[in-house]
Amino acid sequence: MSELKWWQTAVFYQIYPRSFADENGDGIGDFKGIIQKLDYLSDLGVDAIWLSPHFPSPNWDCGYDISDYTNVAPEYGTLEDFKSFLAEAHKRSMRVILDLVLNHTSDEHPWFLESRSSRDNPKSDWYVWMDSPLTAGEGSEVRVPPNNWQSCFDGDAWTYAPERDQYYYHYFMKQQPDLNWHNPAVKKAMWDAARFWLDLGVDGYRLDAIGTIYEDTKLTPHKVPMDLVELRRASELAGTPAEKKKIKEYWRDMFKHQLGGLGLHDLMKELRAILDEYDGDRMLVGEDDDIRYMGNGNDELNLVFNFPLMLTERITPGHVRLNQKERLTQLEALPLKGWPCNTLGNHDTSRTHTRYGDKQHDADLARLHAALVLTLKGTPFLYDGEEIGMTDLIITDPIKLRDTMATWYYDRLVKELNVAPEEAARRAGEMSRDKNRTPMQWTDDPNGGFSPREVETWLPVNPNHQTGINVKEQGRNPNSLLNYYKHLLQVRRNTPALVEGEYIPLHTTAKNYLAFLRVSSNQTVLVILNFSEARLDLDFSRTKEVKQGALRILFSSADRSAKIKSPRGLEIGPFEAFIAEVQTK
Ligand code: GLC
């Protein structure tokens, strides 16, 4: 295992700082809170933390609109608190990577304030500014945006700045102006910011939304016959497969000229070269699923997420097999080969427990999904709270929504599309990412032990913290999901083949279950995940890597007494996750 880098063997855990642990009792998470929970994480058995943005921000996009790249948001603490957090994590042998948002800053960042102030200030070319002609309007001439591009969060991608009589471009909210990455001064400033944290000892970065950094410089308009709000609405109403297919095409076509513009490979190479100047194998993981951003396998990003694995309504054996085949083939094809990276959830998506549940077997499925991410080949990323089975909490009062893309959508539904406010509120609540960002549930106390009882937390705590979905109760219960994760993480850590082994799919036409081997130079492990209620009777004795080798059970979600099983007549229970070492003589 020694040949692998730490980020290949590590299990990452994403901390969403606003919702993780609130030490000072103001209803918002903070660094002192995180520090208090580091023992919890080390006991859970994760090796690395990805921290969502902790920088000063007006919070139009929950921290992804940064107004100072080299500081700490006051609500999270001070730079000293950050340093203590990093030291304490490192003391526990946990690595820490930060979120680096390159595409845009906050519109309150001093760079932008200066840039928008005039056409000839020193930072006038730091953002994407465009002229637009005067057009005849009602009675007098008006300006219209340079083209019909949409922001994926709030309608028009162009916002007019009277100071310059020009428009600036924003792929996300208008409070998140896109930086002009063609300007070398922008690069230099951002690389300096990246170095600031690397100098402090952080182990790398998760790169936010890299696909949005460069857009089509010809500003080719999209041809979709709707705007963002209409497309969102049409997506909700699409019923037939043909309608859904069309909508998917519309989403792709609406944004295709705004994504993946030329230049990103060189940019990633530049950033990678900076990380490589540092010791300790600093790493980069991109928020993108395009394997090409790994360059030759060792000169751009170290990892990109396997988002196609999670982009499905249900995790089925067939879906996983196809996904693995495609991903692993592409990774193998890179000149220096790439390493996979699997995840099923993060702060932008519905929680796995809710999203992939079937409302009947959610608890069983959650266990299977955990076993899947922790046994497939690649670096796993877990999202805080999934280890206790936190679920989505849909906020139906638009006033309480904090995700501004959802409040924007609510307003437009009501005002432009005349949707009834109750329905609009429900739709906004469903699409909002608030539902999967509610505070971590530590205990069954009021406010889930996140904040003192009398405090109003920044997002409501999910009431199901009172029904067993909390760390304290699950810690005491040997059969809890939390202890299941712990056990699984321990087994993974102690089983080299699960970390470094090749993935070999077995029984590849089975609809109900997924079976595969992980094979390393001196260990072969069989994984079976039964996604059905059926009891299975399986035979692996004809598999060449198994043959007559007895199976030594390393882990099972079922209650098993025997420790050794024959590969023939192998019974697997309903929804069982089964991991065994093949004893080859
Ligand atoms: C990424 C983040 C998301 C954010 C967006 C804009 O997709 O994960 O939370 O809203 O980028 O920065």
Ligand 1 pocket residue status of 88, Cβ below 6 Å: no
Catalytic residue among 287, 364, 384, 387: 287
Distance (Å) from CA 184 to ligand 1 centroid:
24
Ligand 1 pocket residue status of 431, Cβ below 6 Å: no
409-434 pLDDT, tens digit per residue, is 999 999 999 999 999 999 999 999 99
C-alpha R_g of the chain: 25
Q: Pick the closest to residue 393 from 467, 466, 459 (CA basis).
A: 459
Taking residue 161's Cβ as centre, other Cβ atoms within 10 Å add up to 17
- Has residue 315 got a pLDDT over 70? yes
Distance (Å) from CA 512 to ligand 1 centroid:
35
Nearest atom, ligand 1, residue 153 CA: 10
Residue 505 to residue 270: CA distance in whole angstroms: 37
Helical spans, DSSP H, in 45-139: 79-91, 110-117
DSSP 8-state class, residue 127: B
What separation in angstroms does the CA of 295 have from each of 251, 286, 336, 341, 408?
Answer: 27, 12, 9, 16, 38
155-206 pLDDT, tens digit per residue, is 999 999 999 999 999 999 999 999 999 999 999 999 999 999 999 999 999 9
The per-residue pLDDT for 2 is 52
**169 Cβ neighbours under 8 A, 6+ residues apart:** 127, 128, 129, 130, 149, 157, 158, 177, 178, 215
> Which residue would you say has higher pLDDT here, 217 or 133?
217
Decide: 318 and 513 in contact? Cβ < 8 Å: no
The per-residue pLDDT for 116 is 98
Query: Active site includes 287?
Result: yes
**Both structure tokens of 342:** 């699997």
**Both structure tokens of 213:** 């950094």
Task: Give the mean pLDDT of the chain.
Answer: 97
Catalytic residue among 203, 208, 288, 576: 208
In this prediction, residue 207 has a pLDDT band, given cuts at 50, 70 and 90, of very high
Amino acid at 570: L
Q: Is 292 exposed, middle or buried (CB count within 10 Å of its CB: 0-12, 13-18, 19+)?
A: middle
Decide: 186 and 179 in contact? Cβ < 8 Å: yes
CA torsion sign for 256, 257, 259, 261 is positive
Share of the chain above pLDDT 70, in %: 99
In this prediction, residue 299 has a pLDDT band, given cuts at 50, 70 and 90, of very high
Residue 224 to residue 222: CA distance in whole angstroms: 6
CA 426 to chain CA centroid, Å, is 24
Residue 248 to residue 417: CA distance in whole angstroms: 21
Rounded to a whole number of angstroms, the distance between the first and last alpha carbons of the chain is 22
| Range of lowest pLDDT (174-188, 368-382, 541-555) | 541-555
The per-residue pLDDT for 557 is 96
Q: What is the mean pLDDT of residues 291-298?
A: 97
Ligand 1 pocket residue status of 154, Cβ below 6 Å: no
Amino acid at 562: A
Decide: 64 and 176 in contact? Cβ < 8 Å: yes
Distance (Å) from CA 357 to ligand 1 centroid:
25
Q: What is the mean pLDDT of residues 25-54?
A: 98
Distance (Å) from CA 207 to ligand 1 centroid:
10
Q: What is the mean pLDDT of residues 474-482?
A: 98
Ligand 1 pocket residue status of 75, Cβ below 6 Å: no
Look at ligand 1, atom 9, and give the residue with the nearest C-alpha: 348
Ligand 1 pocket residue status of 405, Cβ below 6 Å: no
CA torsion sign for 474, 476, 477, 483 is positive
Ligand 1 pocket residue status of 582, Cβ below 6 Å: no
422-465 pLDDT, tens digit per residue, is 999 999 999 999 999 999 999 999 999 999 999 999 999 999 99
Mutation to probe ligand 1, out of 52, 57, 61, 100 (largest number of atoms < 8 A from CB): 61
Residues paired with 359 in a beta bridge: none
Q: Is 212 exposed, middle or buried (CB count within 10 Å of its CB: 0-12, 13-18, 19+)?
A: buried
In this prediction, residue 527 has a pLDDT band, given cuts at 50, 70 and 90, of very high
Ligand 1 pocket residue status of 406, Cβ below 6 Å: no
Three-state DSSP class for residue 169: strand
The per-residue pLDDT for 584 is 78
Phi-psi sector, 547: left (phi>0), alpha (psi -120 to 50), beta: left
The per-residue pLDDT for 313 is 92
CA 61 to chain CA centroid, Å, is 15
383-401 pLDDT, tens digit per residue, is 999 999 999 999 999 999 9
Q: Pick the closest to residue 437 from 350, 307, 366, 310 (CA basis).
A: 350
- Has residue 119 got a pLDDT over 70? yes
* Helical axes 241-255 vs 228-237, angle rounded to 10°: 160
Residue 58 to residue 64: CA distance in whole angstroms: 9
| Range of lowest pLDDT (76-90, 131-145, 237-251, 570-584) | 131-145
Decide: 531 and 316 in contact? Cβ < 8 Å: yes
> How do the residues of the chain divide into helix, strand and coil, expressed in percent and rounded to 5?
35, 15, 45
Ligand 1 pocket residue status of 442, Cβ below 6 Å: no
CA torsion angle for 166, 169, 172, 178 (degrees, to 10)?
-110
The per-residue pLDDT for 135 is 82
Decide: 197 and 98 in contact? Cβ < 8 Å: yes
Decide: 110 and 151 in contact? Cβ < 8 Å: no
The per-residue pLDDT for 140 is 80
Mutation to probe ligand 1, out of 172, 205, 436 (largest number of atoms < 8 A from CB): 172
Query: Active site includes 208?
Result: yes
The per-residue pLDDT for 541 is 94
Distance (Å) from CA 194 to ligand 1 centroid:
18
Distance (Å) from CA 55 to ligand 1 centroid:
14
Ligand 1 pocket residue status of 50, Cβ below 6 Å: no
Look at ligand 1, atom 12, and give the residue with the nearest C-alpha: 64
Distance (Å) from CA 491 to ligand 1 centroid:
33
**Both structure tokens of 35:** 């520090």
- Has residue 1 got a pLDDT over 80? no
Distance (Å) from CA 345 to ligand 1 centroid:
14
Ligand 1 pocket residue status of 387, Cβ below 6 Å: no
Ligand 1 pocket residue status of 403, Cβ below 6 Å: no
Nearest atom, ligand 1, residue 346 CA: 8
Nearest atom, ligand 1, residue 64 CA: 12
Q: Pick the closest to residue 407 from 420, 394, 424 (CA basis).
A: 424
CA torsion angle for 508, 509, 514, 515 (degrees, to 10)?
-40
Look at ligand 1, atom 7, and give the residue with the nearest C-alpha: 209
Residue 44 to residue 440: CA distance in whole angstroms: 15
Ligand 1 pocket residue status of 208, Cβ below 6 Å: yes
Nearest atom, ligand 1, residue 101 CA: 12
Taking residue 16's Cβ as centre, other Cβ atoms within 10 Å add up to 23
In this prediction, residue 138 has a pLDDT band, given cuts at 50, 70 and 90, of confident
Query: Would strands 158-161 and 303-304 be described as parallel, antiparallel, or unpaired?
Result: unpaired
Nearest atom, ligand 1, residue 433 CA: 9
Ligand 1 pocket residue status of 423, Cβ below 6 Å: no
Distance (Å) from CA 505 to ligand 1 centroid:
34
- Has residue 585 got a pLDDT over 80? no
Residue 584 to residue 350: CA distance in whole angstroms: 42
In this prediction, residue 141 has a pLDDT band, given cuts at 50, 70 and 90, of confident
Query: Would strands 303-304 and 283-286 be described as parallel, antiparallel, or unpaired?
Result: parallel
Ligand 1 pocket residue status of 288, Cβ below 6 Å: no
Distance (Å) from CA 389 to ligand 1 centroid:
23
Q: What is the mean pLDDT of residues 309-338?
A: 97
Decide: 54 and 72 in contact? Cβ < 8 Å: yes
Q: Whole-model pTM?
A: 0.97
Ligand 1 pocket residue status of 101, Cβ below 6 Å: yes
